[in-house]
Amino acid sequence: MQHSYKREEKLKKSKLIDQLFAQGSSISAFPIRLIYLELEHDSPFKIQAGMSVSKRNFKRAVDRNKIKRLLREVYRKNKHLIYQSEHTKKHIFMFIYVGKIELEYSKLEEKMISIMDKFLRINRA
């Protein structure tokens, strides 16, 4: 599997985002929260994902952007865990960073893997 995060994989449509927050389910592995919804979308990829960081917790845009970059990178490197599962149907994801301090890359990666494992366990049931 190619480790990329192409434009078609990014969750951009506001209608889909609104629907995700209205009907989606969530799981957490502090400081990351995943809101997901099984939904047919136009993308050729199984998952469309977005990243978000609270302006309340990180006032400076520089800090929010850095955390979003880290989240995208961690997702990009580990999304193969979800794509390899034959149980996974088309979903939309929103990863929300809910912590108040910035974590280092390795800790963030552990949490991302943990949240993906939780998703896969729930999705199989």
The model's pLDDT over 18-70, given as tens digits with 9 standing for 90+, comes to 999 999 999 999 999 999 999 999 999 999 999 999 999 999 999 999 999 99
- Identify any residues that bridge with 100 across adjacent strands, giving them in sequence order: none
Q: Which are the contacts of 23, defined by CB distance < 8 A and separation ≥ 6?
A: 37
pTM of the model: 0.94
User: Which of these, 51, 55, 47, 30, lies nearest to 90 by C-alpha position?
Assistant: 47
Query: Could you tell me how many helices (H) and strands (E) the chain has, helices first?
Result: 4, 4
Residue 56's Cβ-side half-sphere holds a number of Cα atoms within 13 Å equal to 4
- Domain 7-124 fold: Ribosomal Protein S5; domain 2 (3.30.230)
The model's pLDDT over 60-116, given as tens digits with 9 standing for 90+, comes to 999 999 999 999 999 999 999 998 887 778 999 999 999 999 999 999 999 999 999
Tokens coding 38: 């099984």
Tokens coding 63: 């800090």
Burial class of 82 by CB neighbour count within 10 A (0 to 12, 13 to 18, 19+)? buried
Domain parsing of the chain, residue ranges: 7-124
Give the integer Cα–Cα distance in Å for 21 and 37: 9
- Concatenated DSSP letters for 1-26? ------GGGB---HHHHHHHHHH-EE
